[in-house]
Amino acid sequence: MLQRIQTIYLLLAAGVSGGLIYVFELWQTEDGVKVFANHTDYVFAAFLTSAFFSIVSIFRYKNRKSQFMLGRLNIILNFFLLGFFVYQSLNVSGETAVSEKGIGMLLPIVSIVFLALANKAIKKDEDLVKSVDRLR
Protein backbone atom coordinates (compact mmCIF):
# COMPACT_ATOMS: atom_id res chain seq x y z
CA MET A 1 0.00 0.00 0.00
CA LEU A 2 2.44 2.60 -1.20
CA GLN A 3 -0.36 4.95 -2.24
CA ARG A 4 -0.99 6.25 1.27
CA ILE A 5 -0.42 9.86 2.31
CA GLN A 6 2.40 8.96 4.72
CA THR A 7 4.42 7.75 1.73
CA ILE A 8 4.32 11.28 0.32
CA TYR A 9 5.34 12.76 3.66
CA LEU A 10 8.19 10.27 4.05
CA LEU A 11 9.39 10.94 0.50
CA LEU A 12 9.39 14.67 1.21
CA ALA A 13 11.33 14.10 4.44
CA ALA A 14 13.85 11.95 2.57
CA GLY A 15 14.14 14.63 -0.12
CA VAL A 16 14.78 17.31 2.47
CA SER A 17 17.35 15.22 4.35
CA GLY A 18 19.05 13.68 1.34
CA GLY A 19 18.67 16.18 -1.46
CA LEU A 20 18.38 19.72 -0.17
CA ILE A 21 21.62 19.46 1.79
CA TYR A 22 23.43 20.00 -1.51
CA VAL A 23 21.36 23.07 -2.37
CA PHE A 24 21.28 25.12 0.85
CA GLU A 25 24.42 26.03 2.77
CA LEU A 26 24.61 25.53 6.51
CA TRP A 27 26.67 28.64 7.18
CA GLN A 28 29.13 30.98 5.59
CA THR A 29 32.52 31.63 7.13
CA GLU A 30 34.02 35.07 7.58
CA ASP A 31 36.11 34.47 4.45
CA GLY A 32 32.94 34.07 2.40
CA VAL A 33 33.25 30.29 2.00
CA LYS A 34 29.88 28.54 1.97
CA VAL A 35 29.85 25.38 4.10
CA PHE A 36 27.46 22.65 2.96
CA ALA A 37 26.53 19.50 4.88
CA ASN A 38 28.85 17.30 2.83
CA HIS A 39 31.86 19.33 4.02
CA THR A 40 31.38 18.05 7.58
CA ASP A 41 31.44 14.25 7.86
CA TYR A 42 29.26 13.71 10.93
CA VAL A 43 26.60 16.21 9.79
CA PHE A 44 26.57 14.60 6.36
CA ALA A 45 26.24 11.14 7.93
CA ALA A 46 23.36 12.30 10.14
CA PHE A 47 21.47 13.77 7.17
CA LEU A 48 21.99 10.63 5.08
CA THR A 49 20.94 8.40 7.99
CA SER A 50 17.77 10.43 8.30
CA ALA A 51 17.06 10.04 4.59
CA PHE A 52 17.78 6.30 4.84
CA PHE A 53 15.36 5.90 7.77
CA SER A 54 12.66 7.66 5.75
CA ILE A 55 13.18 5.43 2.71
CA VAL A 56 13.24 2.26 4.81
CA SER A 57 10.11 3.40 6.62
CA ILE A 58 8.28 3.73 3.30
CA PHE A 59 8.86 0.07 2.50
CA ARG A 60 7.82 -1.09 5.98
CA TYR A 61 4.16 -0.41 5.13
CA LYS A 62 3.07 -3.93 6.11
CA ASN A 63 4.32 -3.46 9.66
CA ARG A 64 2.90 -0.15 10.80
CA LYS A 65 4.37 -0.38 14.32
CA SER A 66 7.93 -0.62 13.02
CA GLN A 67 7.15 2.13 10.50
CA PHE A 68 5.94 4.34 13.35
CA MET A 69 9.01 3.44 15.44
CA LEU A 70 11.37 4.32 12.56
CA GLY A 71 9.58 7.66 12.22
CA ARG A 72 10.09 8.43 15.89
CA LEU A 73 13.75 7.41 15.70
CA ASN A 74 14.16 9.67 12.69
CA ILE A 75 12.54 12.58 14.55
CA ILE A 76 14.95 12.06 17.46
CA LEU A 77 17.90 12.02 15.05
CA ASN A 78 16.73 15.29 13.49
CA PHE A 79 16.33 16.85 16.95
CA PHE A 80 19.94 15.92 17.74
CA LEU A 81 21.01 17.45 14.43
CA LEU A 82 19.03 20.60 15.16
CA GLY A 83 20.51 20.77 18.66
CA PHE A 84 23.99 20.50 17.21
CA PHE A 85 23.29 23.41 14.85
CA VAL A 86 21.88 25.55 17.67
CA TYR A 87 24.87 24.71 19.87
CA GLN A 88 27.32 25.51 17.11
CA SER A 89 25.68 28.81 16.21
CA LEU A 90 25.35 29.99 19.83
CA ASN A 91 28.59 28.63 21.28
CA VAL A 92 30.90 30.34 18.83
CA SER A 93 32.11 33.56 20.39
CA GLY A 94 31.92 36.55 18.11
CA GLU A 95 32.67 36.08 14.43
CA THR A 96 35.41 33.47 14.66
CA ALA A 97 34.03 30.50 12.73
CA VAL A 98 30.42 31.13 11.71
CA SER A 99 29.83 34.46 10.08
CA GLU A 100 26.38 33.99 8.54
CA LYS A 101 23.90 31.27 9.28
CA GLY A 102 22.44 29.59 6.24
CA ILE A 103 18.96 28.28 5.56
CA GLY A 104 20.40 24.76 5.68
CA MET A 105 20.35 24.90 9.47
CA LEU A 106 16.54 24.85 9.29
CA LEU A 107 16.34 21.66 7.20
CA PRO A 108 15.94 19.40 10.27
CA ILE A 109 12.87 21.42 11.29
CA VAL A 110 11.26 20.86 7.89
CA SER A 111 12.11 17.17 8.07
CA ILE A 112 10.64 16.91 11.59
CA VAL A 113 7.37 18.45 10.38
CA PHE A 114 7.05 15.96 7.52
CA LEU A 115 7.93 13.05 9.80
CA ALA A 116 5.38 14.14 12.40
CA LEU A 117 2.70 14.33 9.70
CA ALA A 118 3.69 10.87 8.47
CA ASN A 119 3.53 9.44 11.99
CA LYS A 120 0.12 11.00 12.48
CA ALA A 121 -1.14 9.32 9.30
CA ILE A 122 0.41 5.98 10.33
CA LYS A 123 -1.30 6.22 13.71
CA LYS A 124 -4.58 7.00 11.98
CA ASP A 125 -4.22 3.90 9.80
CA GLU A 126 -3.39 1.76 12.82
CA ASP A 127 -6.47 3.03 14.67
CA LEU A 128 -8.63 2.30 11.61
CA VAL A 129 -7.36 -1.28 11.40
CA LYS A 130 -7.97 -1.79 15.13
CA SER A 131 -11.54 -0.51 14.83
CA VAL A 132 -12.26 -2.84 11.91
CA ASP A 133 -10.82 -5.78 13.87
CA ARG A 134 -13.24 -5.03 16.71
CA LEU A 135 -16.20 -5.33 14.34
CA ARG A 136 -15.27 -8.84 13.19
pTM, to two decimals = 0.87
Question: Are 126 and 82 contacting, i.e. CB atoms less than 8 angstroms apart?
Answer: no
Question: Would you state the pLDDT for residue 120?
Answer: 95
Helix-helix angle 64-91:107-135, to 10 degrees: 160
Q: Encode pLDDT of 44-101 as tens digits.
A: 999 999 999 999 999 988 888 999 999 999 999 999 999 988 887 776 555 555 556 7
Helix-helix angle 107-135:5-18, to 10 degrees: 160
pLDDT at 126 over 90: no
Q: What CA–CA distances, in Å, run from 5 to 39, 65, 127, 130?
A: 34, 16, 15, 19
